[in-house]
Chains A and B, each alone.
Chain A
Amino acid sequence: MSFGQALMIALSGFITVFLMLVILWGLIVAINKVTSSFIKEPEVKKAPRRTPAARPAPAPAAEAVETEKKTYGGEIKLFNVDEKTAACIMAIISDETKIPLDQLIFRSIKAVE
């Protein structure tokens, strides 16, 4: 095989990979269009947005202690943060601090605007 032939093979291989992935790009866009037009996704539960008017009255001390215990039990309060973003944040913190997720306790995640 001459170098010229090899060069042509390498070039056509690279172009094939590009073309294939560009077409996949198109397919992903098409899938998105189809699913958003024809398939109704179940509504995702969002964490309630806290507004000053809707802020609940301070809970009694005993109730607050109870809530605290629940939080330690694995419940996380999300404020204006969806579950996926919260999962990403937890993974990043775990990665950065080198502390396994099962040893980290998250009480709440709040979006700062």
Chain B
Amino acid sequence: MNELMVKQMQNILSDYIDDLNAEKKPDISQDMADNEELQKLFETVRAVKRLRNEPYQELRYAKQEAKKPKRSFAGFKVIAVAAVFFIIFSASALFKSILPFRYDGVMEKEAREESGNIQNDNGMPKQMAGGIAEKKIDMETKAQKSDKTNNKYIPKQMAAFSDLIARISQSLNFDEEQECRDTIKEDEKNMVKSDETELKIMTSSADRSILLSSRSVVYSMTKAFQNLESYVGTIEIRSEQNGVVDFLEKIDVKYKKPNKFYAIHSYDGITFTKISDGEKFYTIQTDKTTIDYACPEKELWKYHICQQIEEFMQADEIKEIGMDTIAGRMAVVYEYRYKGDGFTNKLWVDAKTNIPLKNELNLSENKRLTNQFIQMEVNAPINDEIFSYSPKKDENTIFLNDKVELDVVKKDWPEINNLLKNIPESFEFKRAVRLKDVSYNYLLNFKGEDEQDFLDVYIALKPVSDYYYKEADHGILGNGWVELEDGVVNAFKAYIGKSNVAKWVNPNNELLLVSNRSSYITSKIFEKMAEKTIKFIPSEALSEFGLEPVFTKENH
């Protein structure tokens, strides 16, 4: 084939793909129809396109899109441990008024305790810190070093820690509702569950049978979550070591899609309530109530149903082992394992609704984390009023952040006009929030045309990042540098599932964009503001800016 022919073929094939993407009948001439090579290429395109209908295809290939290295169970273990750590951290933080995005000095101490495997002020064991301690030490060493020269390090450390958690979580590649809401064709629905036996017969090997079976289970669970609008239940989170319970939390939750919830948390005789009305996140304790405008979804990821589905999805081996009764319901029990790991985990799935009811993660050092519904009702009617909360007049109310007018931001940061004029028109401004005790000073929320479309802009009036993530992409823009990363999971513990993060650090300020849209797209805002294009560089080159890499270790 000469060069011209190759070019022609490339164009034909590209047009063919465009037509399929636009659901148009491809324009195929007789010459093209007679060309066997082209016909096979067309069929290859169609074959790839059929993959989009797989329930977890988005997830499988999101890794490729985000250019992330494949993570194995090592990452998973870390998130499991991180989840426990986070629970413990949250619990201890409760007493010290530490809330997400805040730091009051105890974290550093606690982190050392974590790594030293000792107890914190509340007597809670810290053994579960496990693998994360090593990572935290790396972070702390760096942060402490930074503290010597810059007393602003504390909030940075918090941001870094949040980042770290998010990045650890990333190994799960969890995309919660977006995944669950992905359109799945009706024909596959018919195929999967009821015909599971049939599918097994159709396959030629035991392996394939298991594969199909597990695909069916995952599909059914995903579909079940897709059809779920709300749930009311009681969840128990239990951490054990050598059979001894070292942490037990009970959560009575009423959840309504997409992000409203009312949850009463109880542990060690302490009770507090967390409410999200979709806009504000309230934490109601006996002596005070905190109100957070920034990200009402936070906290939900700890126990949310879709989290369990996601964890199960990542398994390399799944085996049905029997039936059990959980929360008064018949449940199918599955054993699952991750490649290269000796630990066997278990998931109990409601035989009727396909909603996971219990998840048991087995970790190193004979540790076990169990997350179980002890009572649950799917799609129970919930009055929206329960998600509203008005603090009493004499209530000690702390606003972790304030809703402010744009003019207030403008006064502090005149450059906002340049930002606003470069935000795509499809995004509508929702609110501005003045943040407290964190690296960033303001947050601007924008919503796109679709419900899922969002763009959050964090503004720091001074540059705050003196570290970079090796796994992200980096570039130079104007006098500053940018960091782009797609597929960040549970970013800052505030964005459930996967989001895309673009950061621009320049001598005068720092901007951070979090969106469901690719950071490679949102970073165009930076380019328009700078009236320059990003020049991509190897990450290591950032060391020349005096920046240090942050590692997220694997396989420990």
Whether chain B is bound by chain A comes out as no
Binding site for A on B (CB under 8 A): none
Interface residues of A (CB under 8 A from B): none
